[in-house]
Amino acid sequence: MNRKILFYLFLLLLITSPLFSLTIYDIQYTTDPSGNSPYVDSIVTVQGIATVSQVVFSDSSYFIQDGEGPWNGIMIYDPSMIENVEEGDLVEVTGRVSEYYDKTEIGYLQNVTVISQGNELPRPYFVQTGDVDTAEAYEGVLIRCADVVITDPNIGFGEWLIDDGSGECRVDDKADYSYIPILYDTIMHIIGIVDYSYSDFKIEPRGDKDIIFTLDGTGKAYIDPDSVPNG
Protein backbone atom coordinates (compact mmCIF):
# COMPACT_ATOMS: atom_id res chain seq x y z
CA MET A 1 0.00 0.00 0.00
CA ASN A 2 1.62 3.26 -1.09
CA ARG A 3 1.83 6.46 0.93
CA LYS A 4 -0.89 8.26 -1.02
CA ILE A 5 -3.46 5.54 -0.22
CA LEU A 6 -2.42 5.56 3.44
CA PHE A 7 -2.80 9.33 3.53
CA TYR A 8 -6.34 9.22 2.12
CA LEU A 9 -7.32 6.45 4.51
CA PHE A 10 -6.05 8.59 7.39
CA LEU A 11 -8.11 11.57 6.20
CA LEU A 12 -11.21 9.39 5.87
CA LEU A 13 -10.73 8.05 9.39
CA LEU A 14 -10.24 11.57 10.73
CA ILE A 15 -13.44 12.83 9.11
CA THR A 16 -15.68 9.92 10.12
CA SER A 17 -14.36 9.22 13.63
CA PRO A 18 -15.70 11.00 16.74
CA LEU A 19 -13.46 13.53 18.47
CA PHE A 20 -13.09 12.01 21.93
CA SER A 21 -11.00 14.64 23.69
CA LEU A 22 -13.26 17.65 23.28
CA THR A 23 -14.91 19.58 26.09
CA ILE A 24 -18.13 21.54 25.82
CA TYR A 25 -16.01 24.67 26.08
CA ASP A 26 -14.09 23.58 22.98
CA ILE A 27 -17.33 23.19 21.05
CA GLN A 28 -19.02 26.37 22.23
CA TYR A 29 -16.13 28.84 22.33
CA THR A 30 -15.99 30.99 19.22
CA THR A 31 -14.74 34.33 17.99
CA ASP A 32 -16.96 34.15 14.93
CA PRO A 33 -19.41 37.11 14.99
CA SER A 34 -22.15 34.70 13.91
CA GLY A 35 -21.67 32.68 17.10
CA ASN A 36 -21.21 29.47 15.12
CA SER A 37 -19.21 26.67 16.69
CA PRO A 38 -15.82 25.91 15.12
CA TYR A 39 -16.91 22.25 15.17
CA VAL A 40 -20.18 22.67 13.30
CA ASP A 41 -21.03 19.51 11.30
CA SER A 42 -18.38 17.50 13.18
CA ILE A 43 -19.11 14.27 15.03
CA VAL A 44 -18.03 14.78 18.65
CA THR A 45 -18.08 12.95 21.95
CA VAL A 46 -18.41 14.96 25.17
CA GLN A 47 -19.31 14.38 28.80
CA GLY A 48 -21.35 16.64 31.06
CA ILE A 49 -23.78 16.79 33.95
CA ALA A 50 -27.42 17.35 33.05
CA THR A 51 -28.54 20.69 34.47
CA VAL A 52 -32.16 20.02 33.58
CA SER A 53 -34.04 16.77 33.16
CA GLN A 54 -35.33 15.72 29.79
CA VAL A 55 -39.06 16.62 29.39
CA VAL A 56 -38.81 19.68 31.70
CA PHE A 57 -38.42 21.99 28.70
CA SER A 58 -39.39 19.48 26.01
CA ASP A 59 -39.39 15.75 25.37
CA SER A 60 -36.69 16.17 22.76
CA SER A 61 -33.96 18.10 24.59
CA TYR A 62 -31.91 18.66 27.71
CA PHE A 63 -28.80 20.63 28.64
CA ILE A 64 -25.44 19.47 29.98
CA GLN A 65 -22.40 21.25 31.47
CA ASP A 66 -18.86 20.15 32.25
CA GLY A 67 -17.91 23.24 34.27
CA GLU A 68 -19.21 26.54 35.62
CA GLY A 69 -19.58 29.74 33.67
CA PRO A 70 -19.21 30.91 30.09
CA TRP A 71 -19.00 28.46 27.16
CA ASN A 72 -19.50 25.39 29.40
CA GLY A 73 -23.10 24.44 28.57
CA ILE A 74 -24.83 23.00 25.51
CA MET A 75 -28.20 21.63 24.45
CA ILE A 76 -28.56 17.97 23.50
CA TYR A 77 -31.27 17.27 20.92
CA ASP A 78 -32.57 13.78 21.62
CA PRO A 79 -36.08 13.23 20.20
CA SER A 80 -35.73 9.46 20.66
CA MET A 81 -35.20 9.86 24.43
CA ILE A 82 -32.38 7.32 24.30
CA GLU A 83 -31.75 7.37 28.07
CA ASN A 84 -34.48 9.67 29.51
CA VAL A 85 -31.78 11.80 31.15
CA GLU A 86 -32.43 13.21 34.64
CA GLU A 87 -30.99 16.30 36.30
CA GLY A 88 -27.68 15.38 37.93
CA ASP A 89 -26.88 12.55 35.54
CA LEU A 90 -23.32 12.47 34.22
CA VAL A 91 -23.74 11.55 30.58
CA GLU A 92 -21.50 10.91 27.61
CA VAL A 93 -22.99 11.76 24.24
CA THR A 94 -21.77 11.23 20.71
CA GLY A 95 -23.46 13.22 17.98
CA ARG A 96 -23.19 15.92 15.38
CA VAL A 97 -22.69 19.61 16.21
CA SER A 98 -25.19 21.82 14.42
CA GLU A 99 -26.42 25.39 14.42
CA TYR A 100 -30.21 25.23 14.59
CA TYR A 101 -31.43 28.75 13.82
CA ASP A 102 -28.10 29.99 15.27
CA LYS A 103 -28.28 27.91 18.46
CA THR A 104 -25.41 25.48 18.95
CA GLU A 105 -26.56 21.98 19.82
CA ILE A 106 -25.49 18.35 19.57
CA GLY A 107 -27.98 16.13 17.77
CA TYR A 108 -28.20 13.18 15.35
CA LEU A 109 -27.04 11.19 18.34
CA GLN A 110 -25.10 7.98 17.84
CA ASN A 111 -24.85 7.15 21.52
CA VAL A 112 -25.91 8.38 24.96
CA THR A 113 -24.50 6.72 28.08
CA VAL A 114 -25.47 7.62 31.65
CA ILE A 115 -22.20 7.18 33.56
CA SER A 116 -23.53 8.07 37.03
CA GLN A 117 -26.54 9.67 38.70
CA GLY A 118 -27.21 12.16 41.47
CA ASN A 119 -24.15 14.31 40.81
CA GLU A 120 -23.83 17.85 42.15
CA LEU A 121 -24.74 20.39 39.51
CA PRO A 122 -22.44 23.24 38.47
CA ARG A 123 -23.26 26.33 40.52
CA PRO A 124 -25.41 28.87 38.67
CA TYR A 125 -23.04 31.50 37.30
CA PHE A 126 -23.88 35.07 38.34
CA VAL A 127 -24.74 37.27 35.37
CA GLN A 128 -26.19 40.78 35.22
CA THR A 129 -29.44 41.00 33.29
CA GLY A 130 -27.99 43.46 30.80
CA ASP A 131 -25.41 40.88 29.75
CA VAL A 132 -27.80 37.99 29.10
CA ASP A 133 -29.25 39.28 25.85
CA THR A 134 -25.90 39.92 24.18
CA ALA A 135 -23.69 37.10 25.43
CA GLU A 136 -23.19 34.08 23.18
CA ALA A 137 -20.89 32.77 25.90
CA TYR A 138 -23.84 32.02 28.22
CA GLU A 139 -25.82 29.97 25.70
CA GLY A 140 -26.72 26.67 27.36
CA VAL A 141 -25.24 27.72 30.72
CA LEU A 142 -27.00 27.61 34.10
CA ILE A 143 -26.94 31.20 35.39
CA ARG A 144 -28.31 33.35 38.23
CA CYS A 145 -29.48 36.96 38.27
CA ALA A 146 -30.06 38.82 41.55
CA ASP A 147 -32.37 41.58 42.83
CA VAL A 148 -34.29 41.96 39.61
CA VAL A 149 -37.42 44.02 38.95
CA ILE A 150 -40.13 42.90 36.55
CA THR A 151 -40.37 45.70 34.01
CA ASP A 152 -42.88 44.00 31.72
CA PRO A 153 -44.92 40.97 32.90
CA ASN A 154 -46.08 39.93 29.45
CA ILE A 155 -44.26 40.60 26.20
CA GLY A 156 -46.03 37.72 24.50
CA PHE A 157 -45.56 33.96 24.09
CA GLY A 158 -45.11 33.48 27.84
CA GLU A 159 -42.09 35.77 28.05
CA TRP A 160 -41.50 38.62 30.50
CA LEU A 161 -38.77 41.17 31.17
CA ILE A 162 -36.56 41.68 34.21
CA ASP A 163 -33.92 44.29 35.04
CA ASP A 164 -31.34 44.53 37.81
CA GLY A 165 -30.37 48.05 36.72
CA SER A 166 -27.93 46.91 34.05
CA GLY A 167 -30.51 46.42 31.29
CA GLU A 168 -33.47 44.19 30.53
CA CYS A 169 -33.46 40.51 29.63
CA ARG A 170 -36.15 38.00 28.80
CA VAL A 171 -37.50 35.20 30.95
CA ASP A 172 -39.47 32.40 29.29
CA ASP A 173 -41.86 29.67 30.41
CA LYS A 174 -40.72 26.47 28.70
CA ALA A 175 -40.89 24.79 32.12
CA ASP A 176 -43.91 24.84 34.42
CA TYR A 177 -43.77 27.22 37.40
CA SER A 178 -46.54 28.65 39.54
CA TYR A 179 -45.36 32.27 39.66
CA ILE A 180 -47.37 34.71 37.56
CA PRO A 181 -45.27 37.81 36.75
CA ILE A 182 -46.53 41.08 38.18
CA LEU A 183 -45.26 44.49 37.11
CA TYR A 184 -42.65 45.89 39.53
CA ASP A 185 -42.39 42.73 41.62
CA THR A 186 -38.81 42.11 42.67
CA ILE A 187 -37.17 38.71 42.73
CA MET A 188 -34.19 38.05 44.96
CA HIS A 189 -32.71 35.36 42.71
CA ILE A 190 -33.81 34.00 39.37
CA ILE A 191 -31.98 30.95 38.07
CA GLY A 192 -32.20 29.18 34.75
CA ILE A 193 -30.62 27.95 31.55
CA VAL A 194 -29.81 30.56 28.91
CA ASP A 195 -31.61 29.47 25.77
CA TYR A 196 -31.68 31.04 22.30
CA SER A 197 -34.73 31.12 20.08
CA TYR A 198 -36.44 33.53 17.71
CA SER A 199 -33.28 35.68 17.63
CA ASP A 200 -33.24 36.29 21.40
CA PHE A 201 -31.33 34.94 24.38
CA LYS A 202 -33.58 34.26 27.38
CA ILE A 203 -33.53 32.70 30.83
CA GLU A 204 -35.46 29.45 31.17
CA PRO A 205 -36.25 28.68 34.85
CA ARG A 206 -36.58 24.94 35.52
CA GLY A 207 -39.55 25.33 37.89
CA ASP A 208 -40.57 27.04 41.14
CA LYS A 209 -37.19 26.28 42.73
CA ASP A 210 -35.53 28.74 40.33
CA ILE A 211 -37.65 31.78 41.23
CA ILE A 212 -36.67 32.83 44.75
CA PHE A 213 -38.28 35.79 46.51
CA THR A 214 -36.82 35.53 50.01
CA LEU A 215 -34.08 33.60 51.76
CA ASP A 216 -36.60 30.96 52.84
CA GLY A 217 -38.12 30.85 49.36
CA THR A 218 -41.47 32.43 50.28
CA GLY A 219 -43.22 35.76 49.99
CA LYS A 220 -42.87 38.69 47.64
CA ALA A 221 -40.94 41.93 47.66
CA TYR A 222 -41.62 45.22 45.95
CA ILE A 223 -39.44 48.07 44.77
CA ASP A 224 -39.99 51.57 43.46
CA PRO A 225 -39.78 51.18 39.67
CA ASP A 226 -38.09 54.59 39.47
CA SER A 227 -35.06 53.06 41.15
CA VAL A 228 -34.38 50.97 38.05
CA PRO A 229 -32.48 53.05 35.48
CA ASN A 230 -33.95 53.29 32.01
CA GLY A 231 -32.06 52.28 28.90
Do residues 116 and 90 touch, judged by C-beta distance below 8 A?
yes
> What is the reported pLDDT for 2?
59
Structural domains of the chain, ranges and CATH numbers in brackets: 3-116 (2.40.50.200), 125-227 (2.40.50.140)
Going by C-alpha positions, the residue among 179, 173, 165 that lies closest to residue 193 is 173
Reading the chain (231 residues) residue by residue, the pLDDT tens digits are 555 554 444 444 444 444 446 999 999 999 988 889 999 999 999 999 999 999 999 999 999 999 999 999 999 999 998 889 999 999 999 999 999 999 999 999 999 999 999 999 999 999 999 999 888 999 999 999 999 999 999 999 999 999 999 999 999 999 999 999 999 999 999 999 999 999 999 999 999 999 999 765 444 444 444 544 444
Do residues 129 and 166 touch, judged by C-beta distance below 8 A?
yes
DSSP string over the chain:
--HHHHHHHHHHHHHHS-BTT--HHHHH----TT---TTTT-EEEEEEEEEE-TTTSBTTEEEEESSSSTT-EEEEE-TT-SS---TT-EEEEEEEEEEETTEEEEEEEEEEEEEESSPPPPPPEE--HHHHTT-GGGTT-EEEEEEEEEEEEEEETTEEEEESSS-EEEE--SS--S----TTEEEEEEEEEEEEETTEEEEE--SGGGEE-STTS---EE--GGGS---
**CA angle, 83 as apex, 37 and 61 as ends, to 5°?**
40
> What is the reported pLDDT for 173?
97
Residues making up the chain, counted from first to last: 231
> What is the reported pLDDT for 124?
97
- Cα separation, 75 vs 195, whole angstroms: 9
Q: CA end-to-end span of the chain, whole Å?
A: 68
> What is the reported pLDDT for 21?
67
**Sign of the CA dihedral 208, 213, 216, 218?**
negative
CA Rg value for the chain: 20
